[in-house]
């Protein structure tokens, strides 16, 4: 078994000093690592990911409620923009999590969508580990430093706008038709699904998107279709 990582620098980057380093190491352990190292003393990170997801959502939701006097739908979209997989994987890199991940040899070689998915889950697991080891306030501090600070940019650039709804409004206004989304391809294990979805107006496909959930893939498809449609309308 490979030498386990020293987590001192990572804890310093996070601004958290764990009382039990094993909790943090568990958060960094992917299921695939245990498949190759069945005698490893710790569990994989999926339970901590489940916990961290809830803590992250609560902290972000509370901050939005306290600071953004917007309707429920817009608050939901803002929260989604902050906690979606793409943002999570980006923040994982900012936290410096990637070099510390315990992965199988095969997963170490993958640098595409699958790696982004692993990074996104690891961020949630790390938040769960901080909550378990240090409590809510410590988790909130880290979430504020890495997530909440991105909200002004998200609002300014309109990154929270629901492209699926925007595309539907445009399609109904221009063509009197509601877009239809179809799964073009589905791959991966149950916990690492990858969907490719196309969006159609009648029988014509206007856009295609991929994601780790159908909703994410639909948003990507709508974004691409919206860009194509707006480009055509400018001609």
Active centre residues (catalytic): 53, 124
Asked whether 32 and 103 are in contact (CB, 8 A), the reply is yes
Task: Write the DSSP string, 87-156.
Answer: HHHHHHHHHT-GGG-B--HHHHH--SHHHHHHHHHHHHHHHHHHHHHH-HHHHHHHHHHHTGGGHHHHHH
Show the beta-strand stretches assigned E in the chain: 180-187, 194-201, 204-211
Nearest-CA neighbor of 60 among 184, 189, 146?
146
In angstroms, rounded to a whole number, what is the distance separating the alpha carbons of residues 217 and 235? 28
In angstroms, rounded to a whole number, what is the distance separating the alpha carbons of residues 220 and 226? 10
135: left (phi over 0), alpha (psi -120 to 50) or beta: left
Nearest-CA neighbor of 38 among 1, 69, 10, 8?
1
Nearest-CA neighbor of 155 among 94, 218, 75?
75
The helix (H) or strand (E) run that includes residue 175 is helix 163-175
Asked whether 173 and 46 are in contact (CB, 8 A), the reply is no
């Amino acid at each position: 078994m490979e030498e386990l990582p020293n987590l001192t620098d990572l804890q310093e980057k996070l601004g958290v000093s764990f009382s039990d380093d094993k909790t943090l190491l568990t958060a960094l352990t992917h299921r695939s690592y245990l498949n190759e190292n069945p005698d490893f003393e710790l569990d994989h990170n999926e339970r901590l990911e489940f916990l961290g997801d809830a803590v992250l959502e609560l902290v972000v939701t509370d901050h939005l409620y306290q600071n953004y006097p917007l309707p429920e739908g817009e608050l939901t979209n803002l929260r989604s923009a902050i906690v979606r997989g793409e943002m999570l994987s980006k923040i994982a890199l900012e936290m410096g999590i990637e070099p510390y991940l315990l992965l199988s040899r095969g997963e170490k070689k993958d640098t595409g969508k699958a790696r982004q998915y692993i990074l996104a889950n690891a961020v949630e697991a790390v938040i769960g580990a901080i909550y378990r080891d240090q409590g809510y306030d410590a988790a909130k501090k880290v979430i504020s430093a890495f997530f909440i600070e991105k909200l002004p940019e998200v609002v300014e650039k309109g990154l929270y706008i629901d492209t699926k709804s925007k595309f539907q409004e445009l399609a109904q206004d221009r063509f009197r038709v509601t877009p239809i989304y179809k799964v073009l391809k589905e791959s991966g294990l149950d916990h690492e699904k990858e969907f490719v979805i196309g969006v159609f107006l009648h029988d014509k496909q206007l856009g295609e998107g991929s994601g780790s959930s159908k909703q994410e893939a639909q948003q990507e498809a709508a974004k691409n279709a919206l860009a194509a449609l707006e480009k055509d309308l400018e001609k």
